[in-house]
Structure 1
Amino acid sequence: MKSATVNEVVQRSTQAKKKKGWWKYVLQHRAFYIMLIPGLLYFLVFKYVPLMASFIAFQDYNIFKGFTGSEWVGFKWFHQLFTYDKFGRLLRNTLLISLYQIVFAFPLPILLAIMLNEVRTMAFKRITQTVLYLPHFLSWTIVFGLTYMLLSPTQGLVNHLITAFGGDTIAYLQKSEYFRSIIIISGIWKEMGWNAIIFIAALAGINPSLYEAAKMDGANRWKQFLHISVPGMLPAIMILLMLKTGHILDSGFEQIYQFLNPATQETGDVLDTYTYRAGILQGQYSITTAVGLFKSVIGFLLLVIANRVSKWTTGEGLY
């Protein structure tokens, strides 16, 4: 009994010291925790609180009756979504645009970061980085206006060049076969420089002595890239690829909505634009919540799979 009592006292004393030490650490670094507050509030208000309303997907929700007065209908809205005659088209367009973004748009910031890392003239490097970052700060409305100025069949620069060489004008923005290509290219132009920042930071974190040792061993620039730069960037690449995979059903509503028109619905209409029409314009809150819940579940499953693949390939993951 005495030994048990002594053990309990020791455990309580250890826990009290740990608790005191934790509070001391927080007070010592209070400036950092204060800076965390806006970010935590953002995720709390806009990410976690809305999760509480996910059960709307299982109700025939009425804004006048509220959560408690609306009728429970089970999986009615999921059944209606999966049997919707255009659901296949919506899902196909969403997946194709997201896959094209992963295949074509995701590797380019990596290549850009590698090329900028090889530039030795600092003034040229900084000017180039600034020029490439600037499009990120433009809204998609402005980007669409610039794209229209380039591709307009009457005033567009591209069509002027085509007619100058004897060709016929092409209404690129009104043809569904060009829609996905325009979305991917405009997205690359706008975000490539900004997305390269994290890869530039990953390259900057590599110990320069590794390159010096490789030079002494006779490794050329290509060998240094393969055996030092790529392994140094791989953890950042895998983490960002995992996050991209988790959002594979989020194809970018704002961009697509700006470029979408009735002529390009066949290849451009995605789950996000359908959610906007059904939820905001038509007030069908239950089925749009079902769409959001469906996207979240699929994204979570893909994220779990991608995390296991990342741990298997690089030994690192999100958790």
Structure 2
Amino acid sequence: MKLIQKHFSLYLMFLPIFLYFCVFSFYPLIRGFIMSLQEFRVIGDRPFIGLENYKTVLADPMFWQTFKNTIIIGGGVLLVGFIAPIIVAVLLNEVLNMVFKRFVQTVIYLPHLFSWVVVGGIWIFMLSPDGGLVNSFLTAIGKERVHFLADLDYVRDIMVLSATWKDMGYNCIIYLAAIVAINPTLYEAARIDGAKRWHEIRYITIPQLIPTMKIVLLLNLMGILRIFDQIFIMRNPATANKVDVLMVYIYEKGILGFQMGVAAAASFIIILITLLLVLITRKVTKYDME
């Protein structure tokens, strides 16, 4: 209480934020958990059925198929989307022309500002078999047209690449900011010892970026099971079995099928798996929140 009295103004400023999360995050979370233990009805009582909704989800083959798709697509996005911004940030840091450097930063950051409705539309247009940029190039060099978004051999890779393309600029700026914060005397000492640019990148830049890498990895890891907008925009019946993810499964069960209890149970399974992944990652990377 003495601490609260001492910093009362700060706690008062924090109160609206706390109330916001209570109303829009913690309360829906508690209500959703209660719903997952009930037989949901719009009108009338909602009888308590224990873990039956969870058993229904775990016994559903479609759940496991979407779980597999989520791991493959989300894992690809996590891996490619983690490595690509580091490479681009390191390369941009070596660019001496500031005008060109800022132009490239702006161009690669722009997709992050657009919604998946816009980004998905761009990719659908580029990959279209009728007049799409990619297929126009293929026909120009004598190759056959490919319906990429309806081809099971390409569709998952396209989901990974499009997601990486959209968010690469944002993560790249984070790494560039971390590179700027590196003590320049480290580079000066390395040059005195005869280090080349590649040695500076390998032994100074990359090691100094490791704390930032851990943070970005954790942030990205928390979202790999919650992929929805991209898949919902770019999926089609021909490839649904290959690209439908857990959030699409929840959408179909809860919104289309109106099985709110089952959808809530699937949501909490995703939360538990995400929490487990984050804890394992923190343990492996020895990431300390402090």
TM-score (normalised: structure 2): 0.92
* Counterpart for residue 57 of structure 1: 36
| Counterpart residue number, 2:26 | 48
* Structure 1: gaps spanning 5 or more residues: 1-14
In 1, the alpha carbon distance for the partners of 2:271 and 2:123 equals 32
Of 228, 235, 247, the residue aligned with 1:272 is 247
Larger RCO: Structure 1 or Structure 2 (Cα < 8 Å, ≥ 6 residues apart)? 2
- How large is the Cα RMSD of the aligned pairs? 2.1
Equivalent residue for 2:135? 159
- State the 1:293 CA deviation: 0.4
Q: 1:147 to 1:201 in 2, by over 3 A?
A: same
Where in structure 2 are the equivalents of 1:146-225 lying within 5 Å?
146-225=122-201
Per-residue CA deviations over 1:72-94 (Å, capped at 9, x if unaligned) read 11111111111112222111101
C-alpha distance in structure 2 between counterparts of 1:81 and 1:159, whole Å:
41
User: Which residue type is aligned with residue 23 of structure 2?
Assistant: V
CA contact (8 A) 2:63 2:249 kept: no
Cα distance, 1:210 vs structure 2: 1.2
1:226 match: 202
Contact kept, 8 Å, 1:132 with 1:193, in 2: the verdict is yes
SS in 1 for 2:177: helix
Distance 1:40 1:115, change over 3 A: farther
Letter of the 1:282 counterpart? G
Cα distance, 1:243 vs structure 2: 2.9
**So what's the TM-score if we normalise by structure 1?**
0.84
* Structure 2 unmatched runs, 5+: none
Q: CA deviation at 1:42?
A: 4.9
Q: Distance in 2 between matches of 1:246 and 1:150?
A: 30
Are the structure 2 counterparts of residues 164 and 182 from structure 1 closer, same or farther at C-alpha, using a change threshold of 3 Å? same
Query: 2:229 matched to 1:254?
Result: yes
Correspondence for 1:6:
none
**Cross-structure match for 1:238:** 214
Superposed displacement of residue 207, structure 1: 0.9
* Counterparts of 1:50 and 1:289, CA distance in 2: 11
8 Å CA contact 2:66, 2:245 repeated in 1: yes
Greater gyration radius: 1
Partner of 1:88: 64
For 1:181 and 1:256, locate their aligned partners in 2 and report how far apart those are by CA, in whole Å.
12
> Which residue of structure 2 aligns with residue 296 of structure 1?
271
How many residue pairs get matched? 289
| Greater percentage in helix | 1
Describe the shift of the 1:97–1:39 C-alpha distance in structure 2 as closer, same or farther (beyond 3 A). Answer: farther
Listed as ranges, the matches of 1:103-182 within 5 Å are 103-182=79-158
